[in-house]
Structure 1
Amino acid sequence: MARGEFVYNGRGIWCSYKRTTLVVCLINIVVVLYAIHNLYNSLYMYPYIDSQTTFKYTPDQIRKMEESIQIRKASEPKELIKLVKQLKKDFLREDKVVELPQHSKQKLIDEILVQLRGLDAGANATQKREAVERWRKEKLKQAKRLVRGKTLNTTILPEDAGIIARALSSDWAHLSEEMGLWIPLEVINKEHDDKPEGEEEFDSRILPGRQLPPECHAEIHTDYGGAAVRWGLTHPKESAYECCMACLNQAKDAKPGAIKCNIWVYCPSETGCYSPDIYEHKNQECWLKYDEKPKLSFKDRYSESYRNAHPNAPLIVPWVSGVVSV
Structure 2
Amino acid sequence: MLIKALDSDWAVLSENIGLWMPTEIINQEHDDKPEGEEDDEEILPGRPVPPECHAELHTDYDGAAVRWGLTHHKESAADCCQACLDQAKRAKPGEMKCNIWVYCPSETGCYSPDIYQHKNQECWLKYAEKPKLNFKDRYSESYRNSHPNAPLIVPWVSGVVST
- Name the TM-score class by shorter chain: 0.7 to 0.9
Alignment of 1:80-229 (within 5 A): 102-105=27-30, 108=31, 136-139=33-36, 183-185=42-44, 209-229=46-66
What residue identity is the alignment partner of 2:131?
P
| Letter of the 1:294 counterpart | P
Q: Write the distance in 2 (CA, Å) between the matches of 1:183 and 1:238.
A: 17
- Whichever residue aligns with residue 109 of structure 2, its letter is G
Alpha-carbon distance in 1 for matches of 2:144, 2:41: 19
> Which aligned pairs between 1:251-270 and structure 2 lie closer than 5 A?
251-270=88-107
- More helix per residue: 1 or 2? 1
Mapped partners of 2:130, 2:29: distance in 1? 37
2:115 to 278, 283, 290: 278
The offset of 1:183, in angstroms, is 2.1
Change (3 A) 1:104 1:221: closer
Amino acid at match of 2:125: L
User: Would the alpha carbon gap of residues 296 and 185 (structure 1) be closer, same or farther in structure 2, given more than 3 Å must change?
Assistant: closer
- TM-score by length of structure 2 reads 0.77
Amino acid at match of 2:152: L
CA distance in 2, matches of 1:316, 1:296: 15
In 2: Cα distance, 1:293 partner to 1:248 partner: 17
Residue correspondences, number? 137
Q: 1:287 to 1:281 in 2, by over 3 A?
A: same
Aligned equivalents of 2:94, 2:27: Cα separation in 1: 50
Q: Which structure 1 residue ranges, 5 or more long, are not aligned?
A: 1-100, 110-135, 141-180, 187-208
Deviation at 1:104, TM superposition (A): 4.8
Which TM-score applies when normalising by structure 1?
0.39
Shift of 1:255: 1.0
Determine if contact 1:182/1:269 at 8 Å carries over to the other structure. Answer: no
Q: Is the 8 A contact 1:182 1:318 kept in 2?
A: no
Partner-residue secondary structure (3-state), 1:305: helix
Structure 2: 5+ residue runs without aligned partners? 1-25
Query: Which of the residues 128, 148, 154 maps onto 1:291?
Result: 128
Q: CA RMSD in A?
A: 2.4
User: More relative contact order in 1 or in 2 (CA 8 Å, sep 6+)?
Assistant: 2
Larger radius of gyration: 1
Task: Report the Cα offset of residue 325 of structure 1.
Answer: 2.4
Q: Note the C-alpha offset of 1:102.
A: 4.2
Q: Deviations over 1:207-245 (max 9, x none)?
A: xx2111100000000000000000000000010010000
Match for 1:286: what amino acid? Answer: C
Question: What SS does structure 2 have at the residue aligned with 1:252?
Answer: helix
